């Protein structure tokens, strides 16, 4: 995507493919745009901007969307799979929840069976460009 707006438009389109029970794993380095993507996704799923704190420091934020609930997680500060498991994440991997996880690589073993991986990558010399790739069941 050539701009933040492009990433947001892509996320909004991608949101149409999601249903309750789905888990979206957002990978990419610091500042790649995971939170930008997550917010655009949640907006498209019916969460208002006012409901989304900015920035968010919590490990799990819960939101009400259109016909679903949304759990936005950021595992960056977590060290181990056990620590994440203690948060009770499995509860979120089923309807009515749609789960969006930043830094899923902190505990890949905990991810739901049906996970869609979204990877955001920076491109050298083009600060506003991101490569976005999708993969099912990583
Ligand atoms: N094409 C683009 N898509 C997304 N974000 C972009 C793009 N171009 C520039 N940006 C900028 O990149 C930054 C992305 O920040 P963001 O907080 O979403 O990253 P992050 O991957 O969540 O980082 P962290 O790992 O620290 O949580 C924002 O400042 C945004 O404006
Ligand atoms: Mg982030």
What are the sequence ranges of the domains in the chain?
A: 4-136
Whole-number Å distance between alpha carbons of 100 and 92: 10
Within the chain, strands assigned E span 23-27, 60-64, 69-74, 97-102, 115-123, 126-136
CATH superfamily label, 4-136? P-loop containing nucleotide triphosphate hydrolases (3.40.50.300)
* Average of per-residue pLDDT across 47-60: 84
- CA of 120 relative to ligand 1 center, distance in Å: 9
Give the ligand whose atoms come closest to the C-alpha of residue 31: 1
Ligand 1 centroid – CA 96 distance (Å)? 28
Question: What does the mean pLDDT of the chain come to?
Answer: 94
* pTM recorded for the entire structure: 0.96
């Amino acid at each position: 995507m050539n701009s933040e707006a492009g990433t947001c438009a892509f996320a909004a389109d991608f949101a149409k493919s999601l249903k309750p029970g789905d888990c979206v794993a957002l990978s990419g380095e610091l500042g790649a745009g995971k939170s930008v993507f997550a917010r655009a996704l949640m907006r498209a799923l019916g969460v208002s901007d006012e409901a989304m704190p900015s920035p968010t420091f919590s490990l799990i934020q819960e939101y009400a969307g259109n016909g679903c609930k949304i759990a936005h997680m950021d595992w960056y500060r977590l060290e181990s799979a056990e620590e994440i498991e203690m948060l009770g994440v499995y509860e979120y991997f089923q309807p009515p929840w749609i789960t969006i996880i930043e830094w899923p690589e902190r505990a890949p073993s905990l991810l739901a069976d049906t996970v869609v991986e979204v990877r955001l990558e920076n491109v050298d010399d083009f600060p506003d460009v991101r490569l976005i790739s999708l993969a099912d069941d990583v």
